[in-house]
Amino acid sequence: MTTADDRGDSLRMIRDSAAGIAPRTGDLKRIRALRFTEPGFDRNVWRDMCNMGWLGLLIPEDDGGSGLGVQEFCALTEELGASLVPEPLIPAAMAASLLPPDHLPAVLAGERIVLPAWQDQPHSIETTGGATLGNGRVSGRKLFIPMAAGADAFLVSTADGLALVDRHATGVHLDLHQTQDGGNAGTLTLDNAACEPIAGDLHRALEVATMATSAYLLGLMDRVFGITLEYLKTREQFGRKIGSFQALQHRSADLKVQVSLTRASVNAAAATQDTAPDPAVRKAAVSRAKARASDAGSIVTRGCIQLHGGIGYTDAADPGLFLRKMMVLAPSYGSAALHRARFRALAPETDDD
């Protein structure tokens, strides 16, 4: 049985392991260099991440993974958010959790990237199928596949189950669109494409991916807030450090509260995923965390840019990178408004402020 001390040690080890690839004190040169390129991330770094066991964190040990929980995965994605890591760990982990064991060795080794293609409409957390599956063939259209330029295959949701489709199979067409943060999203069109039917609980995997995205947003806002505090301590106007100005101190305090409340919500929701047997309770916790992370991410990143003054609005300033990433992730896996509505439906007697 896992004790609180064991879990604490596990979370610390996960955070420490991230420092080699996503150091909180590192510069963002790699992130800038990868923007608006294809695939938008580094396959060598991806293999390093997989070799460290990150992709298999949630996979049972018998299937080649680590068999850890959502709390550990969220601790990792928080660290990735703090460094704006573009490699598609969250969607790839979602797909890996649904693949049968015989498909996992190449995937967990980082040699083959499978991404989920589940979204049928904007800003959604539900899938209505959006594709048809029969006789080993799949047809339909899927939207907003993150970092799709780097995929070797797609795990497609249909009304009749999941289908694994090779990117270069006949009848597969992928349109790529640049995103605000310099990454890309794909629209997948399938016309009677050959596929392999796959059994799996897509809905549970979606909840975990939503939870991990909330943690990524937490890491993002925590890091940009830290960068801003350092700026306030060094930037001078009128012969004084601007951090000494009371008005800026008040605004900084407001942003710190947003970060702290988000951390409490994300940590509590991640723990709920590992301990609550009731799916409705887990879903409500996910929605509460995602609504807060999306809203707070916007408040904090925009506030940090304002505290930087005019330079904050230039592309050369690092806070702008965090703002652009927030703009992509805040509506991913459901907008704040969607999750507030879902929370009210799942927990109508609970205050969701």
Predicted confidence (pLDDT) per residue in 120-155, tens digit: 887 678 776 679 999 999 999 999 999 999 999 999
| Average pLDDT value over all residues in the chain | 92
Query: What's the farthest any 2 CA atoms get from each other in the chain?
Result: 75
pLDDT at residue 2 in the model: 62
The reply to whether 134 and 210 lie within a common domain is no
Q: Where are the beta strands (DSSP E) in 45-136?
A: 114-117, 131-134
Best CA proximity match to 289, nearest among 216, 207, 214: 214
Question: Is the peptide bond between 39 and the residue preceding it cis, with omega within 30 degrees of 0?
Answer: yes
Looking at the fold, whether 158 and 262 belong to one and the same domain comes out as no
What is the rounded radius of gyration, in angstroms, for the C-alpha atoms of the chain?
Answer: 20
Give the mean model confidence (pLDDT) for residues 320-331: 97
Q: Where are the alpha helices (DSSP H) in 276-317?
A: 279-308
Q: Mapping DSSP to helix (H, G, I), strand (E, B) and coil, where does residue 157 land?
A: strand
Beta strand pairing call for 236-237 and 196-198: unpaired
**Domain total in the chain:** 3
The long-range contacts involving 272-278, CB below 8 angstroms and separated by at least 24 positions, are 273/69, 273/70, 273/71, 273/207, 273/208, 273/211, 274/69, 274/70, 274/71
Q: Which of 73-77, 162-166, 235-239 has the lowest mean pLDDT?
A: 235-239
Report if residue 308 sits inside a domain: yes
Long-range contact pairs involving 234-237 (C-beta distance under 8 Å, separation at least 24):
235/309
- Using pLDDT thresholds of 50, 70 and 90, give the confidence band for residue 247: confident
Residues 155, 75, single domain; the answer is no
184-224 pLDDT tens trace: 999 999 999 999 999 988 999 999 999 999 999 999 999 99
- Burial class for 47, CB neighbours closer than 10 Å (0-12, 13-18, 19+): middle
As a whole number of angstroms, the distance between CA 211 and CA 93 comes to 12
Q: Is residue 352 part of a domain?
A: no
253 has a pLDDT exceeding 60: yes
67, 88, 108 - which closes a domain: 108
For residues 329 and 211, membership in a common domain is answered with yes
Measured in degrees and rounded to the nearest 5, phi and psi for residue 197 equal -65, 140
Q: Is the pLDDT of residue 235 over 80?
A: no
- Whether 182 is covered by a domain: the verdict is yes
| pLDDT tens figures, 45-68 | 999 999 999 999 999 999 999 999
Is the domain of 128 the same as that of 97?
A: no
| 160 and 218 assigned to the same domain | no
Same domain, 217 and 194: no
pLDDT of residue 121: 81
Each residue's pLDDT tens digit, 106-117: 999 999 999 999
Q: Residues 14-25: what's their mean pLDDT? A: 87
**Where among 67, 93, 108 does a domain terminate?**
108
pLDDT at position 237: 66
Question: What average pLDDT score do residues 311-336 get?
Answer: 93
| Domain assignment of residue 79, given as a range | 4-108
